[in-house]
Homo-oligomer: A and B are copies of this chain.
Amino acid sequence: MELLNALLKLTALERLPRAGWLLAGQAVAEPVAAHGLGTCLVVLALGPAVEPAIDLDRAVSLAALHDAPEALLTDLPKVASQLLPPGAKRQAEELAARELLAPLSAAALARWREFHAGETREARFVRLCDKLQMGVRALAYAQSGARGLGEFRASIEELEADEFEPCARLRDQLVAALDAD
C-alpha cells in the first residue's frame, strides 16, 4: 500500500497554493498542481521547436515531477528560499522526493533528480519552462485585472535563455505583453 499512500499524499498538490501569488496580494492562488501541469504544456509547446531536438516526452515527465516534493514541503516563495541557509531547501527537497517518489517508481525518482541536477539539456530546458509558465500565469492575472506583479515581470526579463531559442522568444513576448497591459 506504500504506492497508494504516496499517491494520496501527492493529492495535496491540488490544495497547496503557489505562495508567491499570495504574497503579491492575490486572494486565490494557482495551486501547485496547476503549475506542474502548466509547465508540461509549455514544454509541449516549445519543445518541438528546440534545436537540436530534445527528448520531448522525457522533458514532459521532468515537468510533471519537478515540484512533487512540495506535497510535503509546501511551496516556498523566493523570499523564503533566500532566508534559509544555503543548500537547506535543496536538502529538504531531496529527502521529500525520496519519501514521495521512491514508492511510485525508480523512474519517477530518477526523473525528478535529473531535473534538479540540471545536467541534461532536457533538464535545463524544463527549468526555463518552469519560469516561463510563471510568466504566462502572471500575464493571465494581469489581463484579468491584477496589479502589483512587477517582480514577476522582472524575473521573466532576467531569464537567461540563450541555450533554447524558443524559450527566449516566449520570454520576449511575455515581457512585451506585460508591458503593453
Contact = CB atoms under 8 A, between A and B. Distances in A.
A78 B163 CA distance: 40
Chain A interface size band reads: 35 or more
A1 interface: yes
A111 to B, nearest CB: 8
A11 to B, nearest CB: 5
Contacts of A126: none
A9 B126 CA distance: 21
Interface string A44-86: 1111110000011110110111001001111111011001110
Given A58-B57, A147-B144, A30 B48 contact: no
Interface of A: 1, 3-4, 6-17, 19, 22-31, 33-34, 36-38, 40-42, 44-49, 55-58, 60-61, 63-65, 68, 71-77, 79-80, 83-85, 87-89, 91-92, 95-96, 103-108, 111, 136-137, 139-141, 143-148, 170, 173-174, 177
